[in-house]
Structure 1
Amino acid sequence: MLTDSSTPSTALPRTSGADAIVIGAGLGGLAAAMRLGAKGYRVTVIDRLDMPGGRGSSITQGGHRFDLGPTIVTVPQGLRDLWAACGRDFDQDVDLRALEAFYQIQWQDGSTFTARQSTDAMRAEVARLSPGDLPGYDKFLKDSEKRYWFGFENLGRRSMHRFADLLKVLPTFVALRADKSVYAHAASRVKDERLRFALSFHPLFIGGDPFHVTSMYILVSHLEKEFGVHYAMGGVAAIALAMAGVIQSQGGTLRLNAEVDEILLQNGRATGVRLTDGAVIAADIVVSNADAGHTYDRLLRNHRRKRWTPPKLARKRWSMGLFVWYFGTKGTRLKWPEVGHHTILVGPRYKDHIRDIFIRGRLADDMSLYVHRPSVTDPSVAPVGDDTFYALSPVPHLGIGDTDWQTEAEPYRQKMQKMLEDRLLPGLSDHLTEQLIFTPNSFQTRYLSPYGSGFSIEPRILQSAYFRPHNVSEEAKGLYLVGAGTHPGAGLPGVIASAEVLGTLVPNAPRTRAQRMAAE
């Protein structure tokens, strides 16, 4: 059942049996609700937005559907496993399309690199740019596969909340040189700076600085090779709606336009939540898909915290902010035929620009852009003959530097438009129609993201695995965390995996007397 907070605000008594509350209808929260529903819990998902999906939601404006957050699916098997755990078939609910060309990287000198699933095609791209780097690239692929099996299939799919778990894996971390950064590892294998970029930029998709994030994240290269890159028709928002459908079929409830103000504790155990309208909902367990920082700093503000205290959270390094320009164009469906679904425009600087974003907190004059053109795959995103785009630029989060987005947003958008017109979409200004801008302020107000960061806590080595907020909270019994700010981390595969980890931590719901009698 889907309800709206416009219904009268009254304290809701707890029913008999096992009830679970999930705070936040982001993809991690929805996946958690599905896992809990499959375990027999009566689940209520609460979200302040008017639709499920969180960062994976969408806004429709003037006939253009703007997918606000993630745009690709890289590990569809994780979703298929999730659906299977609920006795459902993912491919019956979601139309997933494999992309032949994943993305094209374009440099200022006119050179390009197109990523594909085929190893032969990728080796051909490497040979075209720098034939001498082929042996190093082959070694990089083997490095990537080793880290995939250890970092994704092993660590990423089990809880890392015990110190003993960390001690067990430390030797492997040392052997795989997890102390090296993603960029440093790429640089040790290939010499061409363009290839070093192509093999090291991926952490930016989960909020990490490639020059500081652990080299374990080179596993993305194998992940793309193993599973490919896909697009869900209807956008990631269509996946969120399908997830909501599964939850409702399990007897769960999505309560939208409602915001949790506090997690309630009694004798050190989570017993429910209080909404901003004063309503109280009781439960046996509480799962927070809100940002881990918001969970501990705001939702548990009236309770003593042992590990995730405000000073400790303030010392954490947070992922960068995002400036996203969503726009529609009129009559351009056949224009710019060389522009595909995903394009990365590389600016004149790499390392120094990353330092501006993550270390100096400076809004630079130059930029690199990720450009999404879903209308080449999914015509439903725009009116007939038109296009829908978004262009994304990493920027400092609100806790570093002094950027005033009230005054800087439009000048920055204009710089972005000029770069697009000069390098990718000539004549763009003649075709612009609908527009929407998200700044770090938007992430802070819409998603309650600390500092307006795009991906919660940055995935540096001492902010990953055991050192990241755990899936089972040490602050209260019966409280669990899923989503980008907890283990294993940000990105669609990560948040779906966080719910899989949750499923290993939460026992099956105890059956009611009526259920036991029916089973007998």
Structure 2
Amino acid sequence: MKKIAVVGAGPGGLAVAMLMAHKGYDVTIYEKQDYVGGRTSEIKLGEYKFDMGPTFLNMLYIAEEIFELTGRSINDYVDLIDLNPMYQLIFHDKKINMTRDANEMIRQIDELFPGNEGSYERYMERTQKKLEVLAPVLQAPMNRMTDLLNPKVLKAAGELEIGNSLVDTLSKFYKDEDLQLAFTFQAKYLGMSPWESPGAFSILSYIEHAFGVYHIKGGINKLTDAMAKVVKELGGKIQLNSGVKKLKVNGKTVTGLVLEDGQEIIADEVIINGDFANAMTKLVEPGVLKKYTPEKLEKKQYSCSTFMLYLGVNKRFDLPHHTIWFAKDYRKNVEEITKTKLLSEDPSIYIQNAVVTDDTVAPDGKSTLYILVPVPNNTSGIDWSQITAPFKDLILNMVSDKLGITDIREYIEEERIISPEDWERDIHVYKGATFNLGHQLSQMLVFRPRNKFEELDHCWLVGGGTHPGSGLPIILESARITANGILKEHKQPLHPVKPLPKVEHYKPVRKDKDLAHQPAAIHMN
């Protein structure tokens, strides 16, 4: 039994531990914190329960496959809830409920955005074909430059739309800018403006509309709890409060770990699930790395950060499970986050009101409000020790106004803030960049840190800082790529990859008489 040491019990580390333990390896995860899940963990404030980070579960089929590959069903471990509508988007003069119901999407687009008739059908049909071409690239290893010559990669080259931004691509389908933004806002979380993000990312909204957005009863953190349970069922071990001080390196070969308490761990393979840039600057002694030195890591491009407010309130609000309010000047807001690195006076805001779907997260008659505000990462030089209080007041005033109440503060019983500074200091996120390295083409595929880490032997990466990128389901996919890389080195059978689930698109009925029974589209005064 070869020994595998995993640094970090985030979703990537847990998933790769599941896959390797199922193959008979001796797997131990070493976690610095006293909880599993990393950013996908639970925050408890009195009687209120929150997800720390991810609140959307999409591409469910990947999580299902990870469990299936260990002979298990995800449904035996978590209670999945298919959200409909998936989320509500609110612009300054209108709001739209994003749903998998094609007829309802078309009805709303026809009424709210006249002149865009037929756009949704064309987008769904064309982007399905794009995803079918790109998915194999996102599921394949990218450990050598020659991997770019793989026929699947060459076939997908045109779909990367290197010359087009995401807005350029969406403008081929949607004439109205607000409607384009309704299908592009996810790019901000990849560290990019939709006016600069590669057009390939038009697949992100399609994936939600084709496969849905899910909630897990109790929170998305229940997924990582379930994964930890499976690791232990398979004989793997998870050591909490076991921070890693450094990698044991002999020349260019990693031979194990040194824990913060001085204990030395010998391992045949080491898998790093910690935040990539943080791990490289903290766990590797100076002079060992050439490509990813602290100086070179400083020059990489990173995602935005997030200002988080977790509020336990003694009231229930008429608010969907997920709501995103766009800044009136969204382009200016995005540029302030990604370019000028300024705090917006009119920021965009995301609120999760999970209790409308899941009554386990708050007591009767009360709610958990999870508020996320995209802000510049810590390369901005913003002094959060000075700005946190006034920025919190700005956000609470905005939320009060948007909820149509005098003051949300009257209802707050529990509260926690995580600022970009907190992300970096307490949760060990490099520069507070919540979504890791940016997804510019210069930092994707083989140009992203590789699953089989190129600078050290017997060292592997998993998580948002390696191929194929950030986002919970993509992190799970990185775990399968890394697991299969190790298995291939050891000449063992690989974990198979299923084809994309079938999606049946149809020509929705557009006759007025067939839509007459449906409620009117939602408008705002």
**Distance apart, 1:207 and its partner CA:** 3.6
Q: Distance in 2 between matches of 1:422 and 1:172?
A: 46
2:112 matches 1:129: yes
| Pick aligned residue for 2:17 from 33, 53, 71 | 33
**Distance apart, 1:425 and its partner CA:** 4.9
Aligned to 1:11: none
Aligned to 2:239: 255
- Taking structure 1 as reference, are residues 477 and 307 closer, same or farther at Cα in structure 2, changes over 3 Å only? same
Q: Is the 8 A contact 2:193 2:334 kept in 1?
A: yes
**Distance apart, 1:71 and its partner CA:** 0.5
In structure 2, the residue corresponding to 1:455 is in which secondary structure?
coil
Q: List per-residue Cα deviations over 1:452-502 (Å, max 9, x = no partner).
A: 111110111111111111111111111110101111111111100001111
The letter of the residue matching 1:190 is: Y
**Distance apart, 1:263 and its partner CA:** 1.1
Q: List per-residue Cα deviations over 1:151-207 (Å, max 9, x = no partner).
A: 2x2111111121112244356323552332212212332221210110111122444
Specify every segment of 5 or more residues in structure 2 that has no aligned partner in the other structure, as ranges: 492-525
**Identity fraction in percent:** 31
How many aligned residue pairs are there? 488
| Pick aligned residue for 1:430 from 410, 427, 449 | 410
Q: Distance in 1 between matches of 2:175 and 2:444?
A: 29
Q: Distance in 1 between matches of 2:467 and 2:126?
A: 23
| Pick aligned residue for 1:102 from 77, 81, 86 | 86
The aligned runs of 1:16-415 (5 Å cut-off) are 17-109=1-93, 111-151=94-134, 153-168=135-150, 169-170=153-154, 172-174=156-158, 176-330=160-314, 332-333=315-316, 336-337=317-318, 339-399=319-379, 401-415=380-394
Q: List per-residue Cα deviations over 1:103-130 (Å, max 9, x = no partner).
A: 0011122x11110112222222211211
Aligned to 2:496: none
Q: Distance in 1 between matches of 2:137 and 2:46?
A: 44
Q: Distance in 1 between matches of 2:336 and 2:488?
A: 48
In structure 1, the residue corresponding to 2:58 is in which secondary structure?
coil
**Distance apart, 1:503 and its partner CA:** 2.2
Q: List per-residue Cα deviations over 1:303-346 (Å, max 9, x = no partner).
A: 5223223333222110001001110111x23xx32x11000111
In structure 1, the residue corresponding to 2:398 is in which secondary structure?
helix
The letter of the residue matching 1:120 is: N
Aligned to 1:485: 465
Q: Distance in 2 between matches of 1:60 and 1:394?
A: 23
The letter of the residue matching 1:92 is: D
Q: Distance in 1 between matches of 2:277 and 2:160?
A: 30
The letter of the residue matching 1:132 is: G
Greater CA drift, 270-279 or 206-215: 206-215
- Taking structure 1 as reference, are residues 170 and 316 closer, same or farther at Cα in structure 2, changes over 3 Å only? farther
Q: List per-residue Cα deviations over 1:64-108 (Å, max 9, x = no partner).
A: 112110012111111111111111111101111101111001112
Q: Distance in 2 between matches of 1:45 and 1:158?
A: 25
**Distance apart, 1:29 and its partner CA:** 0.9
**Distance apart, 1:429 and its partner CA:** 2.6
Aligned to 1:418: 397
Q: Distance in 2 between matches of 1:154 and 1:117?
A: 24
**Distance apart, 1:143 and its partner CA:** 3.5
Q: Distance in 2 between matches of 1:452 and 1:495?
A: 18
In structure 1, the residue corresponding to 2:442 is in which secondary structure?
helix
In structure 2, the residue corresponding to 1:444 is in which secondary structure?
helix
Q: Distance in 2 between matches of 1:433 and 1:425?
A: 19
**Distance apart, 1:444 and its partner CA:** 0.5
Greater CA drift, 370-379 or 265-274: 265-274
Q: Distance in 1 between matches of 2:392 and 2:289?
A: 41
Q: List per-residue Cα deviations over 1:222-270 (Å, max 9, x = no partner).
A: 2112211100111111111111110111111111112111111224221
Q: CA-atom RMSD, angstroms?
A: 1.8
The aligned runs of 1:433-452 (5 Å cut-off) are 433-452=413-432
Q: Distance in 1 between matches of 2:356 and 2:191?
A: 27
Greater CA drift, 422-431 or 386-395: 422-431
In structure 1, the residue corresponding to 2:71 is in which secondary structure?
coil
Q: Distance in 1 between matches of 2:326 and 2:185?
A: 10
Q: Distance in 2 between matches of 1:46 and 1:150?
A: 37
Q: Is the 8 A contact 1:29 1:482 kept in 2?
A: yes
Q: Distance in 2 between matches of 1:234 and 1:324?
A: 19
The letter of the residue matching 2:305 is: G
Q: Is the 8 A contact 1:72 1:231 kept in 2?
A: yes
Q: Is the 8 A contact 2:45 2:312 kept in 1?
A: no
Q: Is the 8 A contact 1:41 1:509 kept in 2?
A: no
Greater CA drift, 453-462 or 300-309: 300-309
Aligned to 1:504: 484
**Distance apart, 1:292 and its partner CA:** 1.5
**Distance apart, 1:61 and its partner CA:** 1.1
**Distance apart, 1:446 and its partner CA:** 2.6
Q: What TM-score comes out, normalization by structure 2 length? A: 0.90
